[in-house]
Structure 1
Amino acid sequence: MAIATVNPATGQTLKTFEAQGPDEIEQRLARATAAFRDYRTTDLVTRAELLRATADLLEHEQDEIAHTMTTEMGKTLVAARAEAAKCVKALRWYAENGERLLADERPSAADIEDSGARAAYVRYRPLGVVLAVMPWNFPLWQVIRFAAPGLMAGNVGLLKHASNVPQTALYLGDLFYRAGFPEGCFQTLLVGADAIEKILRDPRIAAATLTGSEPAGRSVAAIAGDEVKKTVLELGGSDPYIVMPSADLDRAVRTAVTARVQNNGQSCIAAKRFIVHSDVYEGFVERFTAAMAALTVGDPMLESTDVGPLSTERGRADLEELVNDAVGQGATALCGARRPPHHRVGWFYEPTVLTGITPTMRIHREEAFGPVATLYPADDLDAAVELANDIPFGLSSNVWTDDEAEQRRFIRDLEAGGVYFNGMTASHPAMPFGGVKRSGYGRELSGHGMHEFCNVTTVWYGA
């Protein structure tokens, strides 16, 4: 894939970039290694001050980078501004909480005595240079949610971003340096996917984190495993959105629409499979379909637009293949299932609602990365859980019920990294984020995410 900015709303190539060659990659690896030697010794107060300076700079440039993101990958300008603001929040959160999260942990006095020690504690030390392989769908947030805890912990980062968001990638590489981080602490690599293996195998790379597709995750995990290097993977998701009879149906419908079409439907944690109890199924379907059909598809730069284009022509084709396969096998499209006839250019696709989904259809088990919702009736809680778990993924889940006994069952039985009641899945700096099964392993955000790339060191003093 060429490294280029191609406007998804028009299909026009705006700017192309040459991939960095071996010499430049080597320079950046050397620079990162040298930076880590010094940066790892900085105190936590200094690191927090640098994160705050980065937050201030990003906040000042919020509109500029929002326009860049919308131009490169098609999210609405409203969503792009919100993404930038979320990044500012995360930077400040780690600046405020990093020292607490990285504080030494001390066992109980009884355990220290039992170990034969005079004193003992656990210290979190940085690992080194971490390679971050990041996706295009949240081109700022996905990077910041790694970089903020990583830099606070004393690591340094090398970013290999998606090839269709090069200007956002370069902005990130420059942002931390302009905010005052020492040269080499965070750098962007403009390289294709074919360069990842050699970089990851370089002994100067200590670990890697990837957010992306399952095939990409398998590849990085295999290489890192061969090199015995730590990885964190956040891969695909096909999250269930379960609605039980006690739910506030109007709120559940309104939230369901947002949960499905956020980021033009291109979010791993977007609700994709809507599993609705039979007692309220017809009412939900009628209201949900009407709300999806009423969404405005159009220019993502306009404040009035609800759904912009998909990020790439290939992405739209993949989504169409899933929908056509389902309809060809008997599924019913209650709305959408086509390209908007009034958009002759750009990679637009109408918000779509499908019913009659069966296990033989690809969309039952594959992730639909676009504004396409599948609906399933469930006769009871057991049927809802079975449907929710009947996929290879386990990123997050959404459940609408006011019944406490039902809530306990869902917490116990849903195979997912998160269970969100009476709302939609959303990441927050204070909450760990990640999945199970083929949605990956490890966690981002919170103290858990910070500690993933720390050398958790036992310090023991003999009596």
Structure 2
Amino acid sequence: MATKDIRKAQQPVTEEVAHVLRTLGVPDSSWRNGTRPVRSPITGEVVAHVAEASARDVAHAVDRSIAAFEAWRTVPAPRRGELVRLLGEELRAHKAELGRLVTLEAGKIVSEGLGEVQEMIDICDFAVGLSRQLYGLTIASERPGHRMMESWHPVGPVGIITAFNFPVAVWSWNAALALVCGDSVLWKPSEKTPLTALAVQALFERAAVAFGGAPEGLSQLLVGGAEVGAALTDDTRVPVISATGSTRMGRIVGERVARRFGRSILELGGNNAAIVCPSADLDLALRGIAFAAMGTAGQRCTTLRRLIVNEGVYETLIPRLARAYGSVGIGDPREAGTLIGPLIDAAAYEGMQKALAEARAAGARIHGGERVLAAEWPDAYYVRPALVEIDSQIDIVKHETFAPILYVLRCAGLPEAIKLHNAVPQGLSSSIFTNDLREAETFLSAEGSDCGIANVNIGPSGAEIGGAFGGEKETGGGRESGSDAWKAYMRRATNTINYSRALPLAQGVSFDID
């Protein structure tokens, strides 16, 4: 494979983190005096020490959240939307700084860090419009002189558990909707990316001051590890828990919430595939595959992890894809021209190497996958994306490895491709590259992709906020962001009004008394 110059570091990360946090109005005391170290994946250095919440702190936060909810639910929804509008304005004004912090703390390249903040701005805009569209239905009643309808009401405090790879956008998908729906929010960010959460909380508090009259405790931040997540998940006073992360985490959260009859919104692992058909525009497919598989160093839940290529175009496409893999810019994500930043930590690197070893043992042909820049930054983990040609969908291919590994399989036709596509436990996102209308429609039909997201002639990653986001099977079944995902943050009441002087019963039941 060809090699492109590896991008070296700019200024020290620690100094830049401190500057950005202060610019965003985050008090020094919240990130300098704590006990939990925060590392930047860019160099592996410790850039902050944050304070951790305890289980008792969670209980007190829920107390405040309930009080805030009881006040907030009585505020008219369009007025609630005004707070979210002001939050969007704060995000617009500080997009560059917050996006930079995402890069520094999560290791995303600059355009992706900025893009994540843009997602937050977009969902705020969506939620502001939604605040005037929380519609219920009027339903035909079988009883004369009766009107039946449904109404939607705020449900209560909403717990939001987010992952490191989208440290701020996923919070906004949930929080913006929950706030306009009349709920208070409690946010437990990933312990790997608490600094961006501190910054967003500071911006929210600034918006709340401008709003005037927002109840104290409407949005709270709970930094910590598994103990904090467990306390939030187990609290019966939190009716909704939205959790984004691994399938393993989702099994724990889902079971604990179900045990107390709470509601879970689970957005979990993805093992996303793309099918390339003989009629595909290969230039278009190459670009779509490259970003979907290598973007964010393979650390998106919608990352392309399996590529199913028709044997008629395999020998044309795969050598071109291998060349693209060999020429991509790797290194400091702050550098112009870098497309692949670091993995989040050593565990991610070790998981990647273990997966590649299993594939190699099964006879796979592997392009890339090795560590780079280890001499410069021994505590940071940069890798070349791995392109893995493999003959069958062995167990490791059916497992989501959160790293830039793309498994490539041959297929003889669309029925075989769809069978391979659906033969994994996850069901988040999917795509097909084809110029054949029948193939496209088949893929989108009930006999096609079994995922929550199915695309034609684009990759599986890069979803827009207007559509509901989430998937099926081990992806958890939850939906966040657009469409009617707002309903998960409210409770539905079916109402019947009798405006007649009679009392007819439903289903023709007769019950006459003197």
Measure how far apart 1:325 and its partner are: 1.4
Aligned length: 455
Measure how far apart 1:441 and its partner are: 1.2
Distance change >3 Å, CA 210–CA 342, structure 1 → 2: closer
Measure how far apart 1:434 and its partner are: 1.0
Residue type of the partner of 1:104? Answer: G
Q: Secondary structure of the residue that 1:63 maps to in structure 2?
A: helix
Residue type of the partner of 1:448? Answer: D
Which of 161, 186, 198 is equivalent to 1:133? 161
Q: Does 1:171 align with 2:199?
A: yes
What is the CA–CA distance in structure 2 between the aligned matches of 1:60 and 1:4, rounded to whole Å? 29
Q: Does 1:296 align with 2:329?
A: yes
Distance change >3 Å, CA 3–CA 260, structure 1 → 2: farther
Which of 269, 273, 291 is equivalent to 1:236? 269
Q: Does 1:391 align with 2:424?
A: yes
Measure how far apart 1:342 and its partner are: 6.7
Give the conservation status (yes or no) of the 8 Å contact 2:188–2:228. Answer: no
What is the CA–CA distance in structure 2 between the aligned matches of 1:88 and 1:343, rounded to whole Å? 39
Map of 2:3 onto structure 1:
none
Give the conservation status (yes or no) of the 8 Å contact 1:240–1:398. Answer: yes
Q: Does 1:418 align with 2:449?
A: no
Q: Does 1:451 align with 2:487?
A: yes
Which of 303, 308, 312 is equivalent to 2:341? 308
What is the CA–CA distance in structure 1 between the aligned matches of 2:233 and 2:145, rounded to whole Å? 39
What is the CA–CA distance in structure 2 between the aligned matches of 1:175 and 1:320, rounded to whole Å? 39
Measure how far apart 1:89 and its partner are: 1.1
Give the conservation status (yes or no) of the 8 Å contact 2:302–2:429. Answer: yes
Map of 1:347 onto structure 2:
381
Map of 1:437 onto structure 2:
473
Measure how far apart 1:357 and its partner are: 4.3
What is the CA–CA distance in structure 2 between the aligned matches of 1:276 and 1:86, rounded to whole Å? 32
State the percentage of identical aligned residues: 27
Provide structure 1 residue ranges, at least 5 long, that are not aligned to the other structure.
Answer: none
Distance change >3 Å, CA 117–CA 381, structure 1 → 2: farther
Q: Secondary structure of the residue that 2:117 maps to in structure 1?
A: helix
What is the CA–CA distance in structure 2 between the aligned matches of 1:116 and 1:303, rounded to whole Å? 70
Give the conservation status (yes or no) of the 8 Å contact 1:32–1:185. Answer: yes
The TM-score, its normalising length taken from structure 2, stands at 0.86
- Write the deviation string for residues 90-112 of structure 1: whole angstroms up to 9, x where unpaired: 11111123322x023222xxx23
Q: Does 1:247 align with 2:270?
A: no
* Structure (1 or 2) with the larger CA radius of gyration: 2
Map of 1:210 onto structure 2:
243
What is the CA–CA distance in structure 1 between the aligned matches of 2:305 and 2:353, rounded to whole Å? 15
Residue type of the partner of 2:297? Answer: N
Provide structure 2 residue ranges, at least 5 long, that are not aligned to the other structure.
Answer: 1-34, 209-213, 501-514
Measure how far apart 1:387 and its partner are: 0.8
Map of 1:32 onto structure 2:
65
Q: Secondary structure of the residue that 1:440 maps to in structure 2?
A: coil
Give the conservation status (yes or no) of the 8 Å contact 1:19–1:191. Answer: yes
Residue type of the partner of 1:340? Answer: V
Give the conservation status (yes or no) of the 8 Å contact 2:78–2:180. Answer: no
What is the CA–CA distance in structure 1 between the aligned matches of 2:273 and 2:425, rounded to whole Å? 12
Give the conservation status (yes or no) of the 8 Å contact 2:239–2:262. Answer: yes
Measure how far apart 1:453 and its partner are: 1.8
Give the conservation status (yes or no) of the 8 Å contact 2:130–2:180. Answer: no
The TM-score, its normalising length taken from structure 1, stands at 0.95
- Write the deviation string for residues 106-152 of structure 1: whole angstroms up to 9, x where unpaired: 22xxx23x145522221111110011111010111111111111111
What is the CA–CA distance in structure 1 between the aligned matches of 2:37 and 2:243, rounded to whole Å? 21
Give the conservation status (yes or no) of the 8 Å contact 2:158–2:241. Answer: yes
What is the CA–CA distance in structure 1 between the aligned matches of 2:245 and 2:327, rounded to whole Å? 31
Give the conservation status (yes or no) of the 8 Å contact 1:3–1:192. Answer: no
Query: What do you get for the CA RMSD once the two structures are aligned?
Result: 1.6
Residue type of the partner of 1:336? Answer: G
Q: Secondary structure of the residue that 2:152 maps to in structure 1?
A: strand
What is the CA–CA distance in structure 1 between the aligned matches of 2:52 and 2:96, rounded to whole Å? 28
Distance change >3 Å, CA 21–CA 418, structure 1 → 2: closer
What is the CA–CA distance in structure 1 between the aligned matches of 2:373 and 2:39, rounded to whole Å? 22
What is the CA–CA distance in structure 2 between the aligned matches of 1:47 and 1:139, rounded to whole Å? 24
Map of 2:135 onto structure 1:
103
Which of 203, 219, 222 is equivalent to 1:189? 222
Bigger Cα displacement from structure 2, 293-302 vs 200-209:
200-209
Give the conservation status (yes or no) of the 8 Å contact 2:155–2:491. Answer: yes
Residue type of the partner of 1:355? Answer: E
